[in-house]
Amino acid sequence: MFYILFFSMFLTIKALESDCPTVKCSHDGPDIRFPFRVAGRQPQHCGQPGFDLVCKENTTMIDFPSYGPLVVKSISYEFRKLSLLDPKNCVHEVFLNLNPSGTPFQYYYLLKNFTYLNCSTRLSPSLNEVSCLSDSRNHVYTVESSFHMPFSCRQLKTIPIPFSYSPYLADNSFGLGLTWSLPGCEDCESRGGSCVFQSKEGLKTGCPSIAQDKGKVNTFRDLYIFFRSSLT
């Protein structure tokens, strides 16, 4: 009975893998595989909720309801890092409006609270104005939360972000990295495994350990670990 269940599980895994091949939006685009999927091109069970990507004009994109579409520059499955670009070329507009708490993602880099100020006049030259958010009547700055707000300014928002504004950093990508976590798949890729489904509904994920002995994969042990984990 054990072997019947064991190899039935093995065949189910293989069926799911063959049903969810890795795809790309372009030749140079990132590999897209579980937990991500391309909406409309891969079955729904090939990705986790909230991990849908879109291919638009050979560009890989992800859409956030609180902000809009962002370009996916690269995906590191080993480090669980999603590197993004802002097509509007204003990364601080992303920081100001994106709400990661409503998504499966968190910022990859360390965060610190900064306050966005909108001022009717320019402040000291020692403070750098966020050029992509400013115009002749509105001068936007990112300052430490303890900064004394001048009378000419009003507070827009205080939020944890990777860094304050600097004119020496790219306005479309620097610091715009996200990470994710899936139960059962922590450090999966770094251990030589691949995060996979344990059910077609995608309600449970797992990471069969890939043990190598002199460069050979110990398939029986991998499946045994996977089978045991699926019963817990």
In this model, does residue 218 exceed pLDDT 50? no
Confidence of residue 145 (pLDDT cuts 50, 70, 90): confident
Confidence of residue 188 (pLDDT cuts 50, 70, 90): confident
What is the mean predicted confidence (pLDDT) over 100-120?
A: 93
Between 204 and 49, the more confident residue is: 49
Contact 84, 40 (CB under 8 A): no
Which residues share a beta bridge with 82? 75, 178
Distance CA 61, CA 72 (A): 5
In this model, does residue 165 exceed pLDDT 80? yes
The structure tokens listed for 207 are: 């990471």
Proportion of the chain above pLDDT 90, given as a percent? 54
CA 170: distance to chain centroid?
19
Which amino acid is it at 89?
N
CA 215: distance to chain centroid?
32
Contact 127, 158 (CB under 8 A): no
In this model, does residue 180 exceed pLDDT 70? yes
Q: Nearest CA to 156 among 101, 102, 93, 85?
A: 93
Between 94 and 5, the more confident residue is: 94
Distance CA 152, CA 35 (A): 47
- pLDDT given at position 206: 64
Confidence of residue 191 (pLDDT cuts 50, 70, 90): confident
What is the mean predicted confidence (pLDDT) over 94-113?
A: 92
